[in-house]
Structure 1
Amino acid sequence: MTTFTSSAAGAVPVAPAATPTNAHFRHRAEVPMLIVGGLTTIVAFVGALTFVTRGVDELPEWAGAALSAMLIPVLAFFLIRYMFWSTMGDAVPVTPKQFPELYELYADLGAEMGFTGEKLHALPQLYVVNGNGVLNAAAAKCQVRKAYVQINSDLLDIAYELGDFRTVRFVLAHELGHVKLRHISIWRMILRPVNTLLTLAPSISRAQEYSADRVGCYYEPEGARGMAVLFAGKRMYQRVDVEEYYDSIRTHRVGFWFKVANYFADHALGFRRMAAIEQTATQGWNVHGKML
């Protein structure tokens, strides 16, 4: 859509801002962390092969992890289907007639984000699962080249009971961001075994979560602040004075032990995550949250 601004010469057309590419959406730490994770996996695999060729009877734990990582592409076909059906067999698919308000919101969001093709470019099926009190959503593969998104019923309560569909839209944009940025790719799964042992896996995940938040902030900036629901709960979060919450974050000393706790977290701790979201209110979506 083209907009116009007025000038002395009359209306002047202004081209709309281009949609950011996947590279723009990625947090600045994501690619470096993936490179480190890839190199450590390759080195571990080469080391494991050296042990095997020398006939070593008992492999170190890291060598076993490296060899098991190489089996992931073979096992992925079976594991993906099993994991999908073990969870989604108890879920409720969202359709035009099942939760129609949610379906319309999700379909419109998917179209905005470019999910209009086939396979990984198709809009992933959305499912509602019983969260049993847990506020969460997730994206994963249901086939090697096809994804799905699930959202816990407890998170949907804020939309259907409290009328907050914007926060839900942010959450769904975040999850579709994981699909859009290929965070659920099989090759990324290969990095997990070795990098989990090396304690690098949480940092890779944390960078990816920041990237998905950046996608969410681009497509639903007003819903981003509703992420306070994760820290105050679905009943209390609307009573949270957000400005006071941010002020209280700033008064806390963020020292060594906070950074240690954040390092081992696969999602940035709330103080870090919400601080980045706060900045988007004045700086726009292109904010890079702190990794430590």
Structure 2
Amino acid sequence: MDNRFNAQPIPNNAFSSMPVADKGASLPPFTKQELASFRHKAEKPLYCFMVFINVAVIVTAVICSIFAYYGEGPLTGEAGEWIIRNLFGASSENVEAYAEVLFILIMLPLILMAAVYLYYAQYRANSIRITEKNFPEIYQVVEDYSKRLGLKRVPKIYLTQENGVLNAFSTFILRRQYIVLLTDLFEVAYLEHHDLESMKFIIAHEMSHIRLRHATFSYQMSILFANYIPILSSTLSRAREYSCDRVAQHLVGVSGVEPMLALVVGKHLYKKVDIEDYVKHCRETRGFFVFLLNMLSTHPIMPKRIQALLKGSGSGRLFF
């Protein structure tokens, strides 16, 4: 009998006894050991493997480029001496080759940097920044969570409209990170349900990406080329999502199931979903194509994600 989804549902208030930031701003920051215990067990090994692939791709590309420029050189035991002689020789041919390579090496980072800042400018120009005067309740939450997570600075949060999309994300500009909240998700806290707890969980999840260094320039560059390997990159992404869900649970003190249900059925209906019945029918969410969908997804499919949230500890299922 398949019992993968037979765990008993945990009520949404099951985490209410946890010490959370908004129940006492004086609580100390999470320790490194605590954060390590929240992180998915497969996240670091997968990340290290992708860094290795990334370095291997770069080294291979450099070596291939060298031999493409200087194809007459033999791949023998004297290859190192041959490369040095040709790379640092004084011939005019080499000077021209160096100029081309140097131009590419200088321009590529500048182009990437310009693209990142242009992306950031889009949100600065077309969004409302959450401050002590604009949505002060949310700003206070962000400030408290920043202290509990041990962040050096409070991340900027922008509120914008995306034609009914329910979403939020954290991203970066070189050494700074910021969070974007979409208004339809934000309305969960202010309009129909006045559900500030769900909004807190979403914010805590995105801030966890910052604390766990997922939303940093160095992290993304370290796996830049490995990210093009579909199943490997999506598996690491799912592990990151599980990690941030777990940090958010301990930060906010709620299971986080309701905000996930809001992503499934929308901001008007999620409060009407029977969680026990949903989990019961998760057992039917199986089969090869469901497995394949999960493998290719950057986020865990919802049955697996909610099951991990209800479990309340440990690492969520990446595959089966």
Number of equivalences: 255
Flag structure 1 segments of 5+ consecutive residues without an equivalent.
1-15, 58-67, 116-120, 281-285
| Counterpart pick for 1:182 among 213, 229, 232 | 213
Which residue of structure 1 lines up, in the alignment, with residue 234 of structure 2?
202
SS in 2 for 1:89: helix
Distance in structure 2 (CA, Å) of the matches to 1:72 and 1:243: 52
Q: Which has the higher contact order (CA 8 A, sep 6+)?
A: 2
Aligned position for 1:266: 298
Q: Which residue of 1 aligns with 2:278?
A: 245
Aligned equivalent of 1:42, options 52, 55, 58: 55
Displacement of 1:288:
0.6
1:167 matched to which residue of 2?
198
SS state of the match for residue 222, structure 1?
Answer: coil
Counterpart pick for 1:254 among 286, 297, 308? 286
Q: What TM-score does the superposition give when structure 1 sets the normalisation length?
A: 0.79
Quick one: structure 1 residues 198 and 126, their matched pair in 2 at CA, closer, same or farther if it must change by over 3 Å?
Answer: closer
1:19 paired with 2:49, answer no
Report whether the alignment pairs 1:83 with 2:119. Answer: yes
- 1:91-146 alpha-carbon deviations (Å, 9 max, x no partner): 0011111112222232223233223xxxxx1010111111311111111113x222
Is 1:235 the counterpart of 2:246? The answer is no
User: What is the alpha-carbon distance in structure 1 between the residues aligned to residue 132 and residue 122 of structure 2?
Assistant: 24
Pairwise CA distance, 1:253:
5.0
Residues 72 and 189 of structure 1 are in contact (CA less than 8 Å); yes or no, is this contact kept in structure 2?
A: no
CA distance in 1, matches of 2:197, 2:111: 38
Identity of aligned residues (%): 27
Change (3 A) 1:72 1:26: farther
User: Which letter does structure 2 place at the counterpart of 1:279?
Assistant: K
Match of 2:76 in 1: none
TM-score by length of 2: 0.73
User: Aligned match of 1:279 in 307, 311, 319?
Assistant: 311
Structure 2 CA distance for partners of 1:165 and 1:223, relative to 1, 3 Å? farther
Instruction: Name the one with the larger strand percent.
Output: 1
Cα RMSD of the aligned pairs, angstroms, is 2.6
2:185 matched to 1:155? Answer: yes
Aligned to 1:11: none
- SS of residue matched to 2:314: coil
| Counterpart residue identity of residue 56, structure 2 | V
Q: CA deviation at 1:56?
A: 7.6
Shift of 1:221: 3.2
Unaligned runs of 5+ in 2: 1-26, 71-103
The one-letter code matched in structure 2 to 1:151 is L
